[in-house]
Structure 1
Amino acid sequence: MTGLDWRRALVRLATMLVVIAVVSGCVSTRAPVVLTASFDAQAASFINASGRAKVSGQAFVRRNNGKLLRAVGTDVFLIPRTAYADERIAALYGSRNQLRWGVRMPDADPLYEQYMRKTVASSGGSFSFDRVADGEYYVVAMIHLPSEVSFNQFPILERVNVQNGKSVRLVMRGY
């Protein structure tokens, strides 16, 4: 091999090592989450009760360049706080309001989604749930991200407590 051939071989090897390092960093090395709580439809049933409160707000993510991306035309979920929801949310979000990437969650109980309410955010990123009964809830808003990233939705979370029929207004921020 000539000196030029050695350089090309080293460049190829270095390129392969960089690609392997990048790809392996994208694969989750976390163990799958094991949930101990089972979904309890009775505990979540307050989501179906008609209340006097409204849970409303606006959701957005601030990018590194300072630009705001609003939850425009995306799904926003109102989830009743139960032991099952607490465990799923803790595994997915930890103590933050943003999703922890790479978490290997088991599929949700099929009834879990039936005990959620869903709305679609307006063109300004606003959302509203009417006739919400007293209780504790999670609000999860999805933000569409530009196509230059490998994932296209960024979920953010807030916990809300509706008491005495009083409405709650949220400003949901992701960073």
Structure 2
Amino acid sequence: MLGLAALLGACVAQGPSSPTASSFSAEEAAFIRKTGTGVIEGHAFRTRSKGQVVNAAGEVVRLIPATAYARERFNRVFGKTKFLPHWRYPNEQVDPRYAEFTRTTKTTARGKFSFDKVAPGTYFVSTQVIWGEEDQVFREGGTVYDEVTLTGKETEPVEVILSGH
């Protein structure tokens, strides 16, 4: 949980203390607080080097409006990938309102999750998949995300796979 919180509050590509060029806009993110008819369902996991699948069991999943501020942060943290290794979690202050304009849920033991009553818009969906002993200095896994857009015309749930690929 702390790792994901640190990730959401950080930027790494230009250094741990470089601020975002964009300012957080509550007005731009406000669509997340609207009630919609959309459903986002997903599965969060990572595949280890020998093919073993590790589910994101009991992890917090965040639904984040893809505002200019969020888009800049994700681009700087992840670059061109959809996975950030656990040991690369950045450490930086984030606008406190950024977290206020997100929704969260938890994954099942099998890494499944769902958001209902989602308003139309573009979102980042993010969680972490970590394994190894909690007291280990270098645990394996990291944070995964994907982007999803709801138009408001969906009649079936939109499926998201969070695997880092």
Q: Which residue of 1 aligns with 2:162?
A: 172
The residue identity in structure 2 corresponding to 1:41 is A
Deviation at 1:144, TM superposition (A): 2.4
Deviation at 1:134, TM superposition (A): 0.3
**Residues 1:67 and 1:149: Cα distance change in structure 2 (over 3 Å):** farther
Rounded to whole Å, the distance in 2 between the matches of 1:43 and 1:81 is: 9
Rounded to whole Å, the distance in 2 between the matches of 1:78 and 1:171 is: 14
Q: Which residue of 1 aligns with 2:114?
A: 128
Q: Deviations over 1:59-103 (max 9, x none)?
A: 100001111110110011000010100111011111110126647
Find 1:48's aligned residue among 33, 36, 44. 33
Identity of aligned residues (%): 32
SS in 2 for 1:78: strand
Q: Deviations over 1:102-161 (max 9, x none)?
A: 475531100100000010000111000000000000000211211256146611010001
Structure 1 length as normaliser, TM-score? 0.77
The residue identity in structure 1 corresponding to 2:15 is A
SS in 2 for 1:43: helix
The number of equivalent residue pairs is 148
SS in 2 for 1:86: helix
SS in 2 for 1:123: coil
Structure in which a larger fraction of residues adopt helix? 1
Gaps of 5+ in 1: 1-27
Structure 2 length as normaliser, TM-score? 0.81
Deviation at 1:173, TM superposition (A): 1.4
Deviation at 1:34, TM superposition (A): 2.9
Deviation at 1:31, TM superposition (A): 2.9
The answer (yes or no) to whether the contact 2:32–2:101 under 8 Å persists in 1 is yes
The residue identity in structure 2 corresponding to 1:146 is G
Gaps of 5+ in 2: 1-11
Q: Determine which structure has more spread, i.e. the larger CA radius of gyration.
A: 1
Matches within 5 A, 1:135-154: 135-147=121-133, 150-151=138-139, 154=142
Q: Which residue of 2 aligns with 1:161?
A: 149
The answer (yes or no) to whether the contact 1:74–1:144 under 8 Å persists in 2 is no
**Residues 1:97 and 1:29: Cα distance change in structure 2 (over 3 Å):** closer
The residue identity in structure 2 corresponding to 1:99 is L
